[in-house]
Amino acid sequence: MQSILHRFGKLSLIFTLLISIYSCNESKTSAYKSESSGNLNQLNVVIINEDWQDSIGEHIREIFAADALGLPQQEPLHALNQIPPTAFNGFARKNRTFLKIEKSKQTGHQILIDSFAKPQVGIAITGPNPKSIITELEENKEKFLDLLEETELKEKRRRMRKAPNQVDVLKKSLGISMLFPSAYRYAKQEDDFFWMRKDIKNGSMELLAYEVPISTIEKNDDIIANVIKMRDSVGEKHIPGPTEDTHMITEEAYAPYLFETEIDGKFAYEIKGTWEVKGFFMAGPFVTYAVKDEKNDRYVILEGFVFKPSSSKRLQMFEIEAILKSAKFID
């Protein structure tokens, strides 16, 4: 009898252990989130069809699909993909970013991190009526746009880290490091001036890195004029056009946009506009970051531009911004 009870006790213990192991595995499985997917700057908008076609959808498009600044043609900040709530399941939930509109007694918003996939950022906005939801959108639009931009920059850099380029020469000459893919090649290295190029279909993507004295940017209050003069002198010296006596200049027809920002904790001017080749029919968008390095009495100039005629350039310029904003100063 004791032998039978002893065996029964062993079986009970084994059964309990098996249940515990299964429960642990079940818990781990339920906590697992699949990898997110989706193209860069593509935003899924979860909203009922009626609201998408009405005033709420109109405001969403005005905010999130507004024209990206500094491009020669109209291109949206984000490609929007509307999904009815009933279809927001399965693969539709795996997109890296989403915006969800819901009717509720309470007006407000919530930032959702890794809710259905990883990494993932969602924005859930609630309100009892269209007016309250639109107000919530308008009052927080800068916050939402900054959040989405930072999310996509982070994702772009994650992809670039898979095959990074060597930056030893930048560290040695300019005292900076920068993350950019190995697909770029060094086209010119002279007198602390660096030009990196990447060939793309029907065009190219270009990066520049160099330094100028603080007085070059701050000699008077007209920062844009100072930057344009600097760019044009650098273009004449270093960036030749396809024929003799041609070189890159800043397009004169449109004044560039000027913003203030930070790179690696340092104050920087951000300038977006259009370049052209003087004396030749070539043009495209550019972005310039003039990063103030007071310790060394200089501005480090980080610039990128794209040549891709008759084609969209939003994604190429986004890659360039992700690269330039990744710059770090090396002591």
> How does pLDDT run across 62-100, given as a tens digit for each residue?
999 999 999 988 999 999 999 999 999 999 999 999 999
> How does pLDDT run across 19-52, given as a tens digit for each residue?
444 444 444 444 678 999 999 999 999 999 999 9
Q: Which one has a higher pLDDT value, 120 or 1?
A: 120
pTM of the complete model: 0.86
Q: What is the mean pLDDT of residues 102-110?
A: 96
Label each residue of 26-76 as H, E or C: HHHHHHCCCECECCCCEEEEECCHHHHCCHHHHHHHHHHCCECCCCCCCCE
Write down the pLDDT at residue 25. Answer: 47
Rounded to whole angstroms, how far apart are CA atoms 232 and 239? 10
Strands 203-213 and 247-250: unpaired
Q: pLDDT band at residue 264, thresholds of 50, 70 and 90? A: very high
Q: Which one has a higher pLDDT value, 32 or 169?
A: 169
Rounded to whole angstroms, how far apart are CA atoms 317 and 77? 11
Strands 328-329 and 176-177: antiparallel
Give the domain ranges of the chain: 42-160, 168-329
Write down the pLDDT at residue 328. Answer: 97
DSSP code per residue over 84-119 = -GGG-SGGGGGBSEEEEEEE-SS-EEEEEESSSSBS
Rounded to whole angstroms, how far apart are CA atoms 145 and 67? 13
Q: How far is CA 159 from CA 217, 271, 319, 328, in A?
A: 34, 26, 11, 18
Write down the pLDDT at residue 31. Answer: 61
CATH 3.40.1130 holds for 42-160: no
What are the tokens at 180? 């950019």
Specify the length of the chain in residues.
Answer: 331
What are the tokens at 145? 């746009």
* Contact of 151 with 128, CB cutoff 8 Å: no
Q: What's the chain's average pLDDT?
A: 90
Q: Which one has a higher pLDDT value, 241 or 228?
A: 228
φ and ψ at 202, to 5 degrees?
A: 60, 30
Q: Which CATH number fits domain 168-329: 1.10.3720.10, 3.30.230.10, 3.50.50.60, 3.40.1000.10?
A: 3.40.1000.10
Q: Which one has a higher pLDDT value, 165 or 15?
A: 165
Q: pLDDT band at residue 252, thresholds of 50, 70 and 90? A: confident
* Contact of 58 with 136, CB cutoff 8 Å: no
